[in-house]
Amino acid sequence: MDKYIISLEAVTGMLVECYRAGNDLETGGILIGPKNQDSVITDSIASSIHAERQSCTYYQSEQDVEIMNEVLRKYQKQGYEFKGYYHRHPSGMYYLSSGDLTTCAGILNDESYCINNTLLMCIITETRDNKLPVFSYIVSLDANGKVVVRNVKSEILLKKCIENCMEYFKEEGENNANNIAG
């Protein structure tokens, strides 16, 4: 099973957006993480007021995509990149819908996303057991172009902890390289 580290701040952002929209509307946004860390999500960006939110669908309009891309570019200048999407489903629907799978196939076939055949999809929905209502999946294409969905286990940490760990391992890597060279 794949494993991701997601910051508490990213999860909080997802939940705020999903519950702000109310029980009747689907909504969502994008997931951001460090460019050199495939399995780390540090931030979430909610869709703008221009997204189309309905009871059983969520669609990013052209205006919404433009606004989100503007925010994403600011993150990219700091070494972060697009990793995936999140959105709210009706209560108890914790899996990807057929519409979600079609959208995923379109994204995975679009080279402009630069995601190396790995798209993180998080579904937020209410559950009966009151567990954290975030269900995560990795979506990719197999050799025949068929959509493959795998469950993801997520660990939640403070963003500062994630950044400190990344900095530590970066410094350790540099120290090891210096020790080898010296």
- Alpha-carbon distance 85 to 90, whole Å? 17
Residues of the chain whose pLDDT is less than 50?
176-182
Percentage above 70 pLDDT, the chain: 82
pLDDT for the residue numbered 65: 79
List the domain boundaries for the chain: 2-181
Q: What's the pLDDT score for residue 39? A: 92
pLDDT of residue 53: 66
The pLDDT of residue 52: 67
Query: Measured between alpha carbons, how far is 39 from 51 in angstroms, rounded to an integer?
Result: 27
CATH of domain 2-181: 3.40.140.10
Q: Are 2 and 39 in contact (CB under 8 A)?
A: yes
Task: Give the Cα separation of 23 and 40 in Å (integer).
Answer: 29
Residues 11-50 have pLDDT tens digits of: 999 988 888 776 677 788 899 999 988 899 999 988 867 6
The Cα 47–Cα 90 span in angstroms is 18
For residue 108, the surrounding DSSP H or E stretch is helix 98-108
Entry pTM: 0.83
DSSP three-state, residue 99? helix
